[in-house]
Every structure is written in C-alpha cells, then in structure tokens.
Structure 1
Amino acid sequence: MVRLPSAPLFRRFAYDRHGAVAMIFALSAVGLLGVTGLAMDFARGAKAKSALLAAADSAALAGARLVGTPAEREAAAKQVFEANLKQSDYDLSKVVMKPENIVKDGRNFGYRVSVQGELPTTLSRVLGFQELNVATFSEAIGVLTTPTEVVMALDTTYSMTGWKIATLKDAATRLIDDLRPLAYDADKLKFGIVPFGQYVNIGVSNRHKPWMNVPDDSSTTSTSCKMEKQVVSWTNCKKVWIPPVAAKPPGTCYNDGVPYSCGGSAAKAGYFQDQCEPVYGPDKEVCKTNTANQKWNGCAGSRNYPLNTRDDSYGTRIPGIMNVTCGTEILDLTTNSSQAKSRIMALNPNGETYIPAGLMWAWRMLSPQAPLENAATRSSSEPVRKFLILMTDGLNTKSPSYPAHTGSNGALSNQLLKEICQNIAKDKANAITIYSVAFDVSDVTTKNLLSTCALDTGGQFFDAKNSAEFLAAFAKIGMNIGELRLTK
C-alpha cells in the first residue's frame, strides 16, 4: 500500500523554489557568459581588423613601390602582408589577401589589397558563434601634391651611339609619362633637360644675358701677297723607279673613350715615274684672300676655379666658346611635358665627356636665382621638391683648360665633379635630391663618385649594366619621386 503525502506536504512542495532558483541562475550564467564573450570577441575582432588594416596598408605600399610586372608586384605585396601577420597576436590563418594592380593609361598607377577571412571566437562559442568575419582593404596610389621639379642631366656623348641613346630616350620619356598623371595640378610638376658632352649648349638666345660673356659673331677678311717663282717648262726628264710599299696595319684611335680602327694603308706595287727639273721664269706676285669666321653655337665654357664648382658670383660671367658645336640645347624647367619629351627625342650623341659641365648646369636650373630662373624658391610656407637625375655611360675624357674643355686630365675632372656634388649637398636652400645612374660603366672611380654624389643628398645610385636595368632604374626613380599615398 502506498502512503500519499498529507495535504500540508503537497502545499510545501508546490511553493518550494529552491531548485528553480538554481536552474534559473545556471541558465542566466550561460547567457551572461555568452554576452560577455561576445563583447570580448568583438573587441578582439576590432583589434584584429586594425592589425589586418596595418598589414594591408604595408602590402599596398610595397606593391605600389615595386617597379616590375604584376606578378612581381603581387609577390612583394604578399611577402610584406604575410610578414605582418606573423607578428600578430591573433589566429589569422583563415585570412585571404586579394591583390590588385591599379593601371592608368596602360601604366602602373598604384596597388590595392583586399583582405577577408574568419577569426576564431572564444567565449562566444557558448552562444553558437564559432567565428567572426573580418574584412578590410587598402589602396596606395602615386600622387604629386607638392610642387615638384625634375631636371635630367643626360650624357649624349659619342659613346652613347646606337642602343644606348635609344634606351635613354625610352627611359627618360617613360619617366615623364609616369609622373605627369600623378600631378592633378599641371603647374605643380616641371621638367628640365640638360644634355651634356664636352660642353653644354645653353642656346644662342642667352648670348646677351648679363651672366654670359660671349663676343659677337664676326667675319674678318684679309689679303696677303707674296712673290713666287713661276715654272715655265721642265727639263732633264728621266724615268725613276719607285719601290713597292708594304701594307701598314691600322692603329687604334679613341672617340669619347670608345676604340675604333684608324690609319693604316694598303700595299703599293713598285712603278716607274717621270722626274723632271723645273725651269723658272720671272717672279710673280700671288695674292690670297683669307676669311676668319667667329661664331657662337651656344656652347658654354667654364669660369676659373673655384667658381666652376659653385652656383654664385655671376658678376664673373660664364664664357661662351666660339667655333665649336655642342649637341642639343638645354630645356629650362617647364610644365610642358610634350616639349620635354620632344627635346629628349632630339638628342644626338656626339663628342667627348665632361660630366662636371652637365651637373653644374642642372644645379643652376634647379636654383631660382640667375643664370636660369624658372625654378621656384623653397620656403616653409611654399615647399618645393627638387630632383636632379645625373646619368653617364663612362668616365671623364675631357678636362677644363679654362675657359674651354680641351684638356685630358681625367683626375682633375673627377675632383671637380666631387666638389660640385659636395656643394650641391651643402645647398640647403634648394635641398636637391640627386639620383645618379651609371649606364654600362666599368670604371670603378666614376661609379664611386656617382654613388657618393647621390647618397650625400639622400638620393640613390643605380649601376645599370644593360638596357633592362637602365629602364628599371629610371622607373624606380619615378616611383621614388611620386608621392605614394594611402587613399582608402
């Protein structure tokens, strides 16, 4: 027989809440733990997203900076992105990076990196949330917002003939094409061209400038007369044997350091020749007219040392060199990129090498004071970025003989080049950054001079051994000049 509880016992059981309180507390604790976990995981997600954004920013900048194919830019971006992830405190193994090369007008313009993935949760799992979605993206493009001046001092000597001058024209015009789209305000970007060889052609239009010393073109005619014997007949003629002459092999001559065959002669067979004695008549006056022409073709010489290493004191004027030719005329700083490219395409290699002349005129072009005055003045309120690109394919083959450059003391020219570089580095008012490029140069001294010249101004030296490396060097210079910005 089963005994049923009495009525009071049923009533106590019906009103007893001790077990329910425990159950409610347990359920509430789970919910509270889940909500707390959500808050913690969302905070972790926000921090993880910040870490991803920093990694994406670094990757986008790395891809944008690299000069190369889309595959090479992608590899650089991924390498930087993965290196950043390894430094993260979060499990981002399920994150995927999607790179994209930004192209404008057929050229690399920037780089975009998109990132998406899942971050494993912790306490949120009690509510069924196993992962948090995280996504971000970054975009880096080149843009020129600060006034920028770029002057190219380009070696156009005889040794640049052929594939070298073709490569130079390609690289220099590409540089202009790469930079021009970055300047939304066309007036903020100027280009200047300084072709150089033994001299620099500054243009005949500068003849009467107060900083030039050039005589007027002239033509002087003179007549000289003298008495000469006149042959009226020949006598005592006879046959004379002329012995054979052996062939003479050609020798080696040099033009701008480039060797070529010269001289020599073919073998000549022996032969008989008539030889007679002259019979003279009375002397006769013979007059000759001589014309001496003096013409200036725009070629600038050097002031005496040390003024030929300094950009000042133009009360001592720059001498013009008469009766010599000196290649393509310089183009002073201009916003007209088409004009700059046309001047580059007109380059014609000829003559010997005197690098200090090209470097000095490029420096003058970037200085706002005379002799060339198209450059802007830098100030704290008006910042201007100034870049000088110096390229050559060989050592100095000429040196100053004052005012001309007809010497052959390469050591002297190297010393002058070194001093000019040092003076540019000291020119804090203009703060010029030099990029130097050695193009197929074997001379170690020249390469060391070019390297020091660039590094002392915060620039960079490129040792380009072939066309591909030369094009890459100019492309890299363009990327450095372009101000990369994170836009998104």
Structure 2
Amino acid sequence: MMMVVATIPILGGIALAVDYAELSRQRQLTLNALDAASVATAAHIVSGVVSAADPAAYDLEIKKYAQDFFEANLGRVKPANAPLTVRLPNNDAGGGTLKLSAELTYEPYFLPAFTKLIGRPSEENTVDVTAHSEVRLKNTLEVALVLDNSGSMAQYGTGTGQQRIALLKAAAKQLIETMANQAAMMKQVPKPVQFGLVPFSASVNIAPANDDQPWMDTLGISPVHHENFDWSKMTPANPNYNPNKYAEKVGDVWYKRGADWGDTRDQPLTRFSLYADIIAETDREAIPNTSRRVCKRFRDGACKEYTTEPEYEYTVSQYTSWQGCVEARPAPYNNNDADATSSNPATLFVPMFAPDEARHLWRDLNNDNIPDLDDANYGYGNNWWADWTDTDAASRQSDMRKYFRVKPYGAPAAASGDGPNSSCTTNAITPLHDVTTLEGKKVILDAIDAMTPTGNTNVPEGTAWGWRVVSHKAPFTEGRPEIEMGNDKVIIVLTDGANTYGDYTYTDPAGNQSTYAAYGYTGKGYNGTGTTRMYMDTNVSKSTYTNTNYQAAMDEQLQMVCANAKAPDQGNVIVVTVSLDLSTSVASEKKAIDALTNCASDSRFKKNDDGTPKKLYYNATGSNLAEKFKEIADELSNLRIVS
C-alpha cells in the first residue's frame, strides 16, 4: 500500500516533466513563428506592395499575409491551437508598431490520466499560454527647407541687431543638428533623416550642371521657350536675312541653317544655344605694321578729329553661361509634380533667359569710335546688349539677330545684375542628404551658410521645388518612393514678405508689364492667348498689371501647389509654413499670413482648444525665430517617435 501511495506522485512528476518540456517546446515554436511573421509582415507593409486605397481590403490582405506566414512556421503546433491576433499600426502615414499575439492552447499527453487518477475535473486537462511579438516600423523623414532669400531678408529682424538672413541661418542649422542627433540613434534604418535646401527669391536655381537632362527643354519645344523671341527676322521670308546663316522652323523646333553657323549648323536654336552663341571681344593684340583711321573726338553727330592706330586681332569668348534658374511651367504643371517628358512639351523645364531690353548698350559697330546707332532711352532696366536697329521698343527687344552680333572690345559693361541671367539670384538647390553622416550634414549646413539675400519673392515657385526635392521622381530623385510607408515627406516654407513681382510704374512701349522673372513677362500671353502664365487657373483680373494683382495671383498659385502637395493621392507631403516679421495690420502682409496659414498642414499631434488639429503655421519675429524652429523640431520628432 505504501508503495502504491508513493508511486502516484512519482508518476505525476514524470508526467508533469514530460508535459512541461513539450509545453515549453510548443511555446518556443509559437514565439519563433510570431517573431518571423512580425518581421515579414512589417517588411511587407513598408514595401508598399499592398495598396492602402481601400482600407478594409488593405487590412484583410495584411492580416492574411501575417496569418499565412505564422502558420507556415508553427512546425508541430496545430494552427487551431494557436489562433493569431494581428493589430496593425494606427499611423496612417506609416510608422507605428505592429503587434502580433497568439493564445496557445496546449493539450498534455499524461496530465489527463494523472488528473483522472487523483479525481480532478477534466476541464483542467489543457494549459493556455499567451505569446506576444512587436515590431516598431521605421519612421524616416525627408525635409526640404524652402527659405526666402529675397532682398528684404537683409533687413534687421524685429527685436534684434541681426539681419533676418543671419537669424534664419542659425535657426535652420540648429533644427538640422537637433534632428541629426535624434536620427543617429536609429542605426538599423538607412538614411533616417534627410534634408534638402531650396533657396528662393524671384526664381529658383536648379543648378547649371542639369542643362543636358531629359527633363529640361533642350530642343526648344515648350510653349514658353520662344515666348519672347522673334526669329522671323532671320528667315528667308525677311528680305534682309543672311542666306548663309538663317533660322528655319520644322515642326515645333527652330534650326540653324547655312554654312555660317559652322560646327553648330542644323542644330536647334534654343535658349541654351543662345548662351553659347553670344560672343564678346575680351582681349586684343595689335597687328604690327598696320594702321587704321579712327575718330578721336566725336561731337554734335560728327567726328571732329581723327587719328590712326594699329589694326587689332581680337580674342573672343562666350559672354556668359546659364546660371541654373528655370521659368515656371504653364498651369497646371507649375503647381504639381507631373513627369517632365518631351511627349508633353509643356511639362519640360525651360531655362530662364532675360531678354536684352530696348536701348543700345553700345553704339559703335565697327570700332571706329563713331556711333552707328541712336541713343534712344526707353527706361528699361535690363539693358545688356545692342539692339539690331533703331526701331520701336518691342521690335528692339524681340529681334533675335542682335544676339549674333559680337560685343566690341571696350564696349560699356552692363550694370550689375543685368544680363540673360537677370532675376536668377539664388544659389542652386541642394538635394536631399543624410544628415546623420558628417559629410551629408556638412553639405546642408554649408549651403545654408552660403545663402545671400537679393531679389523679389516668389513663394509658390519655391514651394513647388520643395515638393520636387522630397519627391522620388526627376528632377530630384533622392526621395523615397511615395508608396513606401514609414516615411514622412515635409516641406518647411519661410518668407519674410508678401509675394512680389516687379510691375512697371513708367512708360512700357514694349508691353512687358513687369520685370522678367520665373513667370516671364506678365504682358506676354501664354501660347498665343491673352492670359499671362501667372494668371492661369486663378480668379484675379486677367487684364490688371499691378503689384497688388500679382500678389493675389501668386497667393492663389501658392494655395494650388500646397493643396496638391498635401493631397494623399499626389504628394502626401506635410507642409509647415513660417512667416517672419509680418504684421496683420499691413494689408499685403495680412494677405501673406492668410495664404501661409491656409497652405499649412494640420498637426497630427497638437490640438486647438476646440479639439480641432492645430495648423502647422508659425508666426515668428526676429527675436523668437529660433524658438519657433524648436517647436518645428518637436513636431518633426513626434513624426518619428511612436508611444
């Protein structure tokens, strides 16, 4: 009897040991399957392979993927004994935590017999174990700093003794340092935080090295490419054309024809070719034993005294090169991220070329010191070449023959800033760089330090290029694909003034209606229409050419580009806006504040008192700009931290 009594606990211990070992094994198999399914499902979500367009279908697809992967790795555990629960991340823009859990029900081998032997209820013949696995999806950032470099940024910031541009540089660099330090902890994620820089004023510079890219209009086929050019004076239809150097249009392309074009014969006539073909005499060397008669003193329309001097041999050079600025694409492409393709020429980017405006910069055409051209002055600002003939202002400006006249040695120099690159005043865009590396951070910080204030203010063009910088498509391809979840694309736009586009307050016989900048001349209708590009798709008066109307049109353009950039089916970009030293008591500045406020995205984390999301708009002064940028850093940090 004593042996029987003693045997019961011994057998029970053996049964428990065997069952416990098997329970531990099944629990470990379940945990391994959970971990494998978590990692695989997280990678599946981040890849963007499954479309989130239909949320219900998306959830079912992801959960089925997790279930299939989990069951495939359970081994000897019956799927029916380990039902899976999948909790998907609740961050619609990506990131968040994926949670998987399984309720393992273990059916012991020996425990049922043992419990029956000792008279225990059969309901206690199973063991339930809960297993969990969590994976924090990556949440990376791509940020474009779209910063005002207009002339007013040279003014002192309110409440400080520093220029606004200096305050902006310090605040922007501190933002980058903060985000770089945080991102350095995410060593398992490549390029966790990237920054790019878009300095803007009247236009945006995309870098001259891009002159041969397929998204540039290298053939001159865009509807805006020849907007200010009149090639008809160089065609056989004009009696004064040169049969050995003329222009011929074939389809949408103008070509060089005739032997006098030399090596470039039969190539397209474009803005790029103009930059290459405009030549100036830059040096000279006297030819020994030669002489020529030149005017020494010219007065009252006649030469009063002649002298002789040697004949010269001249060195000629290209006058200037394209500095990298582009015009705004015609609507709707100025406000979106549509692919630039030759199959749709309006989508191509056109290099800026500011025409030489009416007036002769030099008047002597044959180096004899006697003027051959008149001294008519039309008051235009961008006078950098000699017009072809003494005609009306509009013809003087558009006649293309003048650009193939060589500028004489010793001719007057154009005023500072004048030339075909007029209104191209900013440094080139700096594409996205990984600021967690010393090299990448240095590139961005150096670019910020190099910013210089000058020119007018064109916020919509700056914003559009900010979007293109964080986009994964050309022209800038450093951004992650939009379908890749766990990544936030952000544009931070700062300006210290209202949108401005110089109007004319004096006689304008050429009909330009404005100074030349990214929208060209506002007096030129788009593609044969009567509407300038700036006014396209807006509700402003199409026949009013004033600064007030220009601001209204550009404010509307800003709303369009912001709406498109923020749209989930387009850019899905977070837009942060900052005004610097603007006041609601000044009408134009109040309009600028309203435009920036409407442009901004809603915060995902901060609420107003009524429970609505706060706008990511910050009204800064010179004295608190650094504080506002710290608030922006907090917002960006929240995008990456999941509780």
TM-score by length of 1: 0.54
Q: Which residue of 1 aligns with 2:501?
A: 398
Point out the more displaced range, 193-202 or 158-167. 158-167
Distance 1:230 1:454, change over 3 A: closer
Q: Aligned pairs, how many?
A: 299
Map Cα deviations across residues 403-443 of structure 1 (whole Å, 9 max, x no partner): 64455522221121121112112243542111100000130
| CA displacement at 1:231 relative to structure 2 | 8.9
**Is 1:374 matched with 2:478?**
yes
2:432 to 324, 333, 338: 333
* Alpha-carbon shift at residue 293 of structure 1 (Å): 3.1
Quote the Cα distance in structure 1 between the aligned partners of 2:602 and 2:333: 21
Q: Could you tell me whether the CA contact under 8 Å between 1:398 and 1:406 is conserved in 2?
A: no
Counterpart for residue 159 of structure 1: 152
CA contact (8 A) 1:211 1:371 kept: yes
Inter-partner Cα distance in structure 2 for 1:378 and 1:279:
71
Once the 2 structures are TM-superposed, how far is the Cα of residue 157 of structure 1 from its aligned partner? 1.1
CA distance in 2 between counterparts of 1:191 and 1:302 reads 24
For 1:278 and 1:213, locate their aligned partners in 2 and report how far apart those are by CA, in whole Å. 48
Task: Give 1:42's aligned residue.
Answer: none
- Work out whether 1:312 is the aligned partner of 2:338: yes
Matched, 1:218 2:322: no
- Alignment match, 1:83: none
In structure 2, the residue matched to 1:202 is: 206
Task: Give the equivalent residue in structure 2 for 1:451.
Answer: 597
Matches within 5 A, 1:100-139: none
- Say which SS state the counterpart of residue 363 (structure 1) adopts: helix
Question: Counterpart of 1:434 in 2: which secondary structure?
Answer: strand
Is residue 437 from structure 1 mapped to residue 437 from structure 2 by the alignment? no
Tell me if structure 2 keeps the 8 A contact 1:147–1:383: yes
SS at match of 2:323: strand
Structure 2 stretches lacking a partner, 5+ long: 1-135, 155-161, 219-271, 282-292, 342-346, 354-419, 435-439, 503-513, 523-546, 584-588, 605-614
| SS in structure 2 at match of 1:371 | coil
Distance of aligned partners of 1:146 and 1:293 in 2 relative to their CA distance in 1, 3 Å threshold: same
Match of 1:473 in 2: 628
| Whole-Å separation in 2 of the counterparts to 1:359 and 1:277 | 54
C-alpha contact 1:438 1:462 (8 A) present in aligned 2: yes
Deviation at 1:374, TM superposition (A): 0.6
Aligned partner of 2:617 in structure 1 is: 461
Contact map agreement 1:377 1:430 (CA 8 A) in 2? no
Partner of 2:608: none
**Does the CA contact (< 8 Å) of 1:144 and 1:482 recur in 2?**
no
Distance 1:345-1:278 versus aligned 2 partners, 3 A rule: closer
Q: Are the counterparts in 1 of residues 327 and 349 from structure 2 also a CA contact under 8 Å? A: yes
Give the conservation status (yes or no) of the 8 Å contact 2:602–2:616: no
What is the one-letter code of the residue matched to 1:466?
Answer: G
What is the CA deviation profile of residues 70-126 of structure 1, one whole-angstrom value per residue up to 9, with x for unaligned ones?
Answer: xxxxxxxxxxxxxxxxxxxxxxxxxxxxxxxxxxxxxxxxxxxxxxxxxxxxxxxxx
Letter aligned with residue 370 of structure 1 = A
Deviation at 1:317, TM superposition (A): 0.7
Letter in 2 for 1:390: V
Q: Structure 1 residues 146, 348: closer, same or farther in 2, change over 3 A? A: same
Residues 300 and 321 in structure 1, CA contact (< 8 A), matched pair in contact too? yes
Judged with a 3 Å threshold, the aligned counterparts in structure 2 of structure 1 residues 144 and 472 are, in CA distance, closer, same or farther, namely farther
Q: CA deviation at 1:466?
A: 2.6
For residue 485 of structure 1, report the CA deviation from its aligned partner.
Answer: 4.9
Distance 1:277 1:405 in 2: 38
Counterpart-to-counterpart distance in 1, 2:330 and 2:301: 57
8 A contact 1:392–1:438 mirrored in 2: yes
Q: 1:420 to 1:232 in 2, by over 3 A?
A: closer
Is the contact made by 2:339 and 2:474 (CA closer than 8 Å) also made in structure 1? no
Q: Contact between 2:215 and 2:349, CA under 8 Å: does it hold in 1? A: yes
1:428 is the counterpart of 2:569: yes
- Closer, same or farther in 2 for the Cα pair 1:233/1:350, shift >3 Å? closer
Distance in 1 between residues matched to 2:466 and 2:321, nearest whole Å = 25
Equivalent residues of 1:321, 1:403 under 8 A apart: yes
Task: Kindly indicate whether the alpha-carbon contact (under 8 Å) linking 1:439 and 1:466 is maintained by their aligned counterparts in 2.
Answer: yes
Indicate how the Cα distance of structure 1 residues 279 and 200 shifts in structure 2: closer, same or farther if over 3 A, else same.
closer
Between the aligned partners of 1:349 and 1:233, the Cα distance in structure 2 is: 43
Change (3 A) 1:222 1:419: same
Return the match for 2:143 from 143, 146, 150: 150
Moved more, 156-165 or 288-297: 288-297
The superposition leaves residues 153-206 of structure 1 with CA deviations (integer Å, 9 ceiling, x where unpaired) of 000111111520111011000001111121123621111111101111111111
* Percent identity over paired residues: 25
Paired residue type of 2:208: V
TM-score, normalised on structure 2?
Answer: 0.42
Q: Comparing both structures, which one devotes a greater share of its residues to strand?
A: 1
Deviation at 1:305, TM superposition (A): 2.1
In the TM superposition, what are the counterparts of 1:37-116 in structure 2 within 5 Å?
none
CA RMSD across the alignment: 3.7
Instruction: Tell me if structure 2 keeps the 8 A contact 1:310–1:423.
Output: yes
Could you give the per-residue CA deviations for residues 286-309 of structure 1, whole angstroms, max 9, x where no partner exists?
x99998835200111111222211
Rg (Cα) greater in structure: 1
Using the alignment, how far apart are the partners of 2:279 and 2:339 within structure 1? 38
Aligned partners of 1:198 and 1:354 also within 8 Å: yes
> Structure 1 332/393 Cα, relative in aligned 2: closer, same or farther at 3 Å?
same
The answer as to whether partners of 2:138 and 2:486 remain within 8 angstroms in 1 is no
Distance in 1 of aligned mates of 2:352 and 2:501 = 15
* Distance change in 2, residues 1:477/1:428 (3 Å): farther
SS in 1 for 2:329: coil
Q: 4+ residue runs of structure 1 moved beyond 6 angstroms?
A: 228-234, 276-279, 287-292, 399-402
Aligned match of 1:347 in 451, 462, 469? 451
